Amino acid sequence: MARSLYYIGHANLLKKDYTKSLKYLQSALSIGGYLPYDEDRKDTYQSLATVSAARNDNTSAYAYAIKLHQLNDSILNYDRIKAINDLSIKHQADEKTKDIRLLEIENRSVLQKILLTRSALYFVAAGFFLLLVALYFIIRFYSQKIKAEKIMNEQQHEIDQQKIRELEDNIKISSMQSMIVGQERERERIAVDLHDSLGGLLSTVKLQFDNVKSKLNGNVNLEQYDKATNLLDTAVEEVRNISRNLQPGALKDLGLVSAIKDLINRFDSDTYPEIFFQYYNLEDKIDEMTALSIYRIIQELITNTIKHAGASEILLQMTREGEELVIEYEDDGKGINPETTVKKKGMGLENINSRVKYLKGSISVNSREQEGVSYLIRLPYDKVSAADV
């Protein structure tokens, strides 16, 4: 850029347009003035001195001429110093060449000694390397042997632990099965006793009441007699309900779905929540003990909702999904805290968990307080289905 501005200024100088020439030459000087030993700046000073003289500005012309001579002297001194330095560098290079030749001779001698020493070291290193390789393979062999033994021991320990867990699970399942079978037998015995003994006794008492009424020929307080008769009817119905709860006859006669429908019909009144029951893709008959366990689970869930939830609606769904029987139960009650409530006794959930474990299934509870509760129960279908029963 400085050189271009200089040429423009010099062209205007030749055209004798001294004002433009001065402007461009000063611009060229302001841009290139920081370069030391610059031939272009020397030409710029020369042109500025000529322009200033042409404009009769002798002071500026003199000043530029002085700067021109100073720069010229600096350039000459620089060239002189550079030539001296080049000669000095050339002389030092010749001296270094001699030194390098001497060093090369010495290096050849040292190199021969090094080669001899290196050959000896190679033999020693080769022997040491072979020794290390032998040690490596020996250590690796024993390390792999120890590792293999450790893995085998861990696998054997894991197998033993699995067997112990399976044995414990089998013992638990056997205990649960014995407990559940014992419970159902006791329920059946109590149900039979209630139905045959107490139910029959209450029915006999009612017949005796009716017989006494016919013999008194109206000499009786009918209001008190009706109250007593109603109480007897209530007691008989209550005994029947208790007997059916203890041993549902519809389960044996009609199957699981019909037994659940019969259970739901018992709560068909304004005092109980409205229960919606949906079922899909289910077998007509299921193994008796398994069906009874499922019936007890649903019975316990409905009882818990009625006793504790204060719900207005219950949704029960049963369906087969692949190899699983899925039970979904929801209510819109006050909800529970699953982390604490499941651990409490007396809420029926312990009995539900026991029966789910007995069937080798899983149960998950999802609830928030005042937002209802939902249960998702999954049971292996090959364990619960029995179409040939």
CB environment 75-103: b (16+ within 10 A), e (fewer)? beeeeeeeeeeeeeeeeeeeeeeeeeeee
Residue 85 has pLDDT above 70, yes or no: yes
Q: State residue 387's pLDDT score.
A: 41
Residue 294 has pLDDT above 90, yes or no: no
What share of the chain has pLDDT > 70, as a percent? 71
Task: Establish if 68 belongs to a structural domain.
Answer: no
What mean pLDDT do residues 306-335 have? 88
Residue 124 has pLDDT above 80, yes or no: yes
Most confident of 131-135, 181-185, 221-225: 131-135
Q: State residue 328's pLDDT score.
A: 93
Q: State residue 376's pLDDT score.
A: 93
Q: State residue 358's pLDDT score.
A: 81
- CATH number for position 284: 3.30.565.10
For residue 287, give Cα distances in angstroms to 138, 213, 388. Answer: 63, 50, 9
What mean pLDDT do residues 297-315 have? 87
pLDDT band of residue 206 (cuts 50, 70, 90) is: low
Domain that residue 364 falls in = 248-389
State the chain's mean pLDDT as an integer. 78
Greater confidence (166 vs 252) lies with 166
Which residues neighbour 290 within 8 Å (Cβ) at sequence distance 6 or greater? 359, 383, 384, 386
Which residue in this structure is represented by tokens 């045959």?
A: 196
pLDDT band of residue 13 (cuts 50, 70, 90) is: confident
Q: State residue 389's pLDDT score.
A: 36
Task: Establish if 133 belongs to a structural domain.
Answer: no
When mean pLDDT is compared across 24-38, 175-189, 229-243, the lowest value belongs to: 175-189
Greater confidence (39 vs 21) lies with 21
Task: Establish if 272 belongs to a structural domain.
Answer: yes
Convert the pLDDT of each residue in 370-380 to its tens digit: 788 999 999 88
Q: Which amino acid is at 232?
A: L
CA atoms within 13 A on the CB side of 295: 29
Asked if residue 244 lies in contact with residue 263, where contact means CB atoms within 8 angstroms, the answer is: no
Residue 286 has pLDDT above 60, yes or no: yes
What mean pLDDT do residues 72-85 have? 77
What share of the chain has pLDDT > 90, as a percent? 4
Greater confidence (129 vs 201) lies with 129
Report the C-alpha gap between 16 and 246 in whole angstroms.
Answer: 130
Crossing angle for the helix pair 58-192 and 349-358, to the nearest 10 degrees: 90
Residue 300 has pLDDT above 50, yes or no: yes
Convert the pLDDT of each residue in 380-389 to its tens digit: 876 555 444 3
Q: What is the total residue count of the chain?
A: 389
Convert the pLDDT of each residue in 48-65 to its tens digit: 888 888 888 888 888 888
pLDDT band of residue 236 (cuts 50, 70, 90) is: low
pLDDT band of residue 317 (cuts 50, 70, 90) is: very high
Report the C-alpha gap between 93 and 72 in whole angstroms.
Answer: 31
Q: State residue 95's pLDDT score.
A: 80
In DSSP terms, 365 is beta-bridged to 375
Q: Where are the beta strands (DSSP E) in 19-165?
A: none
Asked if residue 41 lies in contact with residue 29, where contact means CB atoms within 8 angstroms, the answer is: yes
CB environment 206-228: b (16+ within 10 A), e (fewer)? beeeeeeeeeeeeeeeeeeeeee
Report the C-alpha gap between 38 and 40 in whole angstroms.
Answer: 5
Task: Establish if 301 belongs to a structural domain.
Answer: yes
Greater confidence (69 vs 190) lies with 69
Element (H, E) at 317: strand 313-321
Task: Establish if 378 belongs to a structural domain.
Answer: yes
Q: Which amino acid is at 388?
A: D
CA neighbor of 48 nearest in space, from 73, 37, 32: 32
Q: Give the distance between the most distant pair of CA atoms in the chain.
A: 165
Task: Establish if 303 belongs to a structural domain.
Answer: yes
Report how many domains make up the chain.
1
Q: State residue 63's pLDDT score.
A: 86
Report the C-alpha gap between 145 and 147 in whole angstroms.
Answer: 5
Task: Establish if 289 belongs to a structural domain.
Answer: yes
Q: State residue 97's pLDDT score.
A: 85
Task: Establish if 367 belongs to a structural domain.
Answer: yes
Q: What is the pTM of this model?
A: 0.45
For residue 309, give Cα distances in angstroms to 147, 260, 300, 337, 373. Answer: 58, 20, 13, 12, 9
